[in-house]
Structure 1
């Protein structure tokens, strides 16, 4: 297989893993309280991830002094995004939540332009505005399908965007997998603390299998997302991120007997289209900058 094909398959596998994790959590929420789920999944995920990375000889928790504050803020943003996202996921159709989260490439691009000064042309800005219009069709403020849980999904988008901006500011000396393990452990501990105020329920065999499955597929998703960055061209591979919406539609129909209304489907199509356009424009801009940076080749001499 070509590197691009491998990258596309890794990206699709990563998105399938994240969406399957969401489906497992949504099923667990039918029997277990939210923070008990967060704690159990956090413990299992942290243990499995730490053991795997340690066995590979790449586990390091050395965070440079200048990055420690950023890692703390990143972890807090991750915890807030997790709570907001799972609150929306448990109470909304999985496809609707996934469609709202599909706006992340747009929000990250806009936030990087506003807060980090990264260049964004007027075409991408128009695409971002159109994408936000698609999000409004999904959320449907003032409509019959609107709920406060849609606002929780939007809050998750904002917090994940903040997390990604903080991640961009981390130095190259910060160990990526070490930060991932720290984050997973912090999320699990937060769930444990918050679950003290909830009545714990007995974890039967089915729930235990779902917790193990959620932990396994989310680790696989993280691994595939890392492998994506090591093969293929980003401009070719990145659009396959939107296969998560296909998985969400399929799992929502098959497992939860859910299917979005026409406005939600239209909004999802707009978000995906504008996201693809934004990714394409980023690739075009990067290639143009590369051509400008390369020195001109001297004209061939005459005999």
Structure 2
């Protein structure tokens, strides 16, 4: 005999604080998965082409999207702004490819630290493209963040590698992707945006794949590719679910947990540890980014 359900039929939703705590846990696990995906990407760059790696990285997500389309129907792809949706997919391809090529040459933790300039790029693009009002305090925070980036890369100090500019390009494309997301928010459901991005990325990369394909050398590489797709897909699902039940302003700072996982994985796999200058620059970037998020939260409350 099934247990009697004594809860009311129309129970109240959990308090916002409870939802936020669950979302924080999901977001933290999501970034843990993304960092695991990044270190597998770096290992795979030793034998495979970066475009090939990004294609496999997307495969887990696109298979999930195809399954959803098969179950729920093609109406998910109905969009009020298909051109913007496709454009978002193009920026996602560019960002992922630039970052994967970059980590072929630079330590993962350094690449992640430089990628943290993305929130500042979003602020700049928001002011230039969306005509968002940005006060002097946020402009100062953006400037300080770029100083932190220069401390990490230290041009002229003998530790600089030109590939770090690819991380800057990746962060720029990621920021443009975020701006497009703001344009699309409220117009299309989240699942529509995710579907367009996944399908656009896969279509572009599939066109390039025959020209860059490198034979997969062994079963260890096959296992890494499966792990790559699984951790990438899991990370996407966890982050989307976290943003669905939690407040974005509460969850945004968790992005910086990537540096912890990147440092951990880099040490375990390559015995790489960032030097004190990298930690200093990363700390400056994180402090400036958190202040920028704080100002955005206050601005949102005023609105």
Q: TM-score range by the shorter chain?
A: 0.7 to 0.9
**What is the Cα deviation at residue 155 of structure 1?**
0.7
SS in structure 2 opposite 1:106? Answer: helix
Is 1:236 aligned to residue 246 of structure 2? Answer: no
Q: Structure 1: state its 5+ residue gaps.
A: 291-303
> Residue 139 of structure 1 corresponds to which residue in structure 2?
153
Write the mapping of 1:43-192 to structure 2, written as runs, cut at 5 A: 43-52=59-68, 54-55=70-71, 60-64=76-80, 67-170=81-184, 172-192=186-206
**What is the Cα deviation at residue 286 of structure 1?**
2.7
Q: Structure 2: state its 5+ residue gaps.
A: 1-16
Q: Deviations over 1:226-263 (max 9, x none)?
A: 22223344333321221111111111111121112222
Cα distance in 2 for residues equivalent to 1:71 and 1:213: 28
Is 1:29 aligned to residue 66 of structure 2? Answer: no
**What is the Cα deviation at residue 55 of structure 1?**
4.6
RMSD between aligned alpha carbons? Answer: 2.2
Q: Is the 8 A contact 1:14 1:222 kept in 2?
A: yes
**What is the Cα deviation at residue 218 of structure 1?**
1.4
Q: Which runs of 4+ in 1 moved over 6 A?
A: 56-59
Taking structure 1 as reference, are residues 166 and 265 closer, same or farther at Cα in structure 2, changes over 3 Å only? same
**What is the Cα deviation at residue 222 of structure 1?**
1.3
> Residue 5 of structure 2 corresponds to which residue in structure 1?
none
Is 1:213 aligned to residue 227 of structure 2? Answer: yes
Taking structure 1 as reference, are residues 62 and 27 closer, same or farther at Cα in structure 2, changes over 3 Å only? same
Is 1:11 aligned to residue 27 of structure 2? Answer: yes
Taking structure 1 as reference, are residues 59 and 82 closer, same or farther at Cα in structure 2, changes over 3 Å only? farther
Q: Is the 8 A contact 1:17 1:218 kept in 2?
A: yes
Q: Deviations over 1:97-150 (max 9, x none)?
A: 111111211211222122212122211111111001101111222221111110
Q: Deviations over 1:164-187 (max 9, x none)?
A: 112211263424323323322332
Q: If the length of structure 1 is used for normalisation, what is the TM-score?
A: 0.86
**What is the Cα deviation at residue 199 of structure 1?**
5.4
Write the mapping of 1:259-278 to structure 2, written as runs, cut at 5 A: 259-278=273-292
**What is the Cα deviation at residue 159 of structure 1?**
1.1
Q: If the length of structure 2 is used for normalisation, what is the TM-score?
A: 0.86
Q: Is the 8 A contact 1:39 1:190 kept in 2?
A: no
Cα distance in 1 for residues equivalent to 2:110 and 2:143: 19
- Aligned residue pair count: 287
Cα distance in 2 for residues equivalent to 1:3 and 1:45: 25
